[in-house]
Amino acid sequence: ELKVEQNPLFLSMQEGKNYTIYCNYSTTSDRLYWYRQDPGKSLESLFVLLSNGAVKQEGRLMASLDTKARLSTLHITAAVHDLSATYFCAVVPNDMRFGAGTRLTVKP
Amino acid sequence: NAGVTQTPKFRILKIGQSMTLQCTQDMNHNYMYWYRQDPGMGLKLIYYSVGAGITDKGEVPNGYNVSRSTTEDFPLRLELAAPSQTSVYFCASNLQGPTGELFFGEGSRLTVL
């Protein structure tokens, strides 16, 4: 059975701190997505990682992919309140399969 | 540009009732999808469509039906609603197919009592 495991599931951070969210998956996938969901809102695509070693950055978020380890990370640098949201990773063996999400809260 | 529009945003049903969640997109995407999101869980695919007249089951299709008569519209029907169908439902669409970036609607929160 395909597993997409994110950890932590809940993360409370102080503004200005750094942290990493991890996404492990159990099957081959030629790409990996990260989505953001604000409370009560829809999901929006943040990154798509297409190959082993791929790294993408936007603002305070940086995502990377290690296809050999079946691991992706989403690193948060100097967190700000606006980053508070739930972050999902998703892999695509045949169709898109999502992790359970990491609910991030950034406190002043 | 509206993107993906879902209605209704909220609905309460009694056990055994039926209803249809509407989804329409104006991006001329061939592929459309219905997902459900349960608390603490990722999204699970219910049904998808590769174009008008063509639909297929996803991971959790039981208790649901879909149709795709036009490129724009992809309604999801719940027959004989059950408490297990209490969830948030998201419609999505894209051009590339099941492995491509998804564009989501804002969701429909359904409660079955």
CB contact under 8 A, A41 and B99: no
| Confidence category of residue A51, pLDDT binned at 50, 70, 90 | confident
Nearest one of A33, A24, A7, A26 to A104, comparing CA atoms: A7
Secondary structure (DSSP) of B5-38:
EEE-SEEEE-TT--EEEEEEESS--SEEEEEEE-
Nearest one of A79, A81, A99 to A89, comparing CA atoms: A99
Is A98's Cβ below 8 Å from some Cβ in B? Answer: yes
Q: What is the mean pLDDT of residues B57-81?
A: 96
pLDDT at B87 over 90: yes
Q: Using an 8 Å Cβ cutoff, are B102 and A45 in contact?
A: yes
Residue-level pLDDT at A43 = 94
Cβ contacts (< 8 Å) between B45 and chain A: which residues?
A: 95-96
Residue-level pLDDT at A19 = 96
Residue-level pLDDT at A94 = 84
Closest Cβ opposite residue B90 in set A42, A45, A99:
A42
Q: Using an 8 Å Cβ cutoff, are A11 and A105 in contact?
A: yes
pLDDT at B43 over 70: yes
* Segment A59-92, tens digit of pLDDT: 999 999 999 999 999 999 999 999 999 999 999 9
Residue-level pLDDT at A18 = 97
Q: What is the mean pLDDT of residues A7-30?
A: 94
Cβ contacts (< 8 Å) between B99 and chain A: which residues?
A: 30-31, 92, 94-96
pLDDT at B9 over 70: yes
Cβ contacts (< 8 Å) between B25 and chain A: which residues?
A: none
Closest Cβ opposite residue A100 in set B40, B90, B104:
B40
Residue in chain A lying closest to B5 (CA): A42
Q: What is the mean pLDDT of residues A79-106?
A: 94
Q: Is the peptide bond before A93 cis (omega within 30 degrees of 0)?
A: no
CB contact under 8 A, B42 and A41: no
Is A56's Cβ below 8 Å from some Cβ in B? Answer: no
CB contact under 8 A, A42 and B104: yes
| Interface probe with B: pick from A6, A36, A42, A51, most Cβ of B within 10 Å | A42
pLDDT at B1 over 80: no
**DSSP strand E in chain A: where?**
4-7, 10-14, 19-25, 32-37, 43-49, 55-58, 61-66, 71-76, 85-91, 97-98, 102-107
Residue-level pLDDT at B108 = 97
Q: Residues 44-103, chain B: which have Cβ within 8 Å of A? A: 44-45, 48, 58-59, 90, 98-99, 101-103
Residue-level pLDDT at A30 = 81
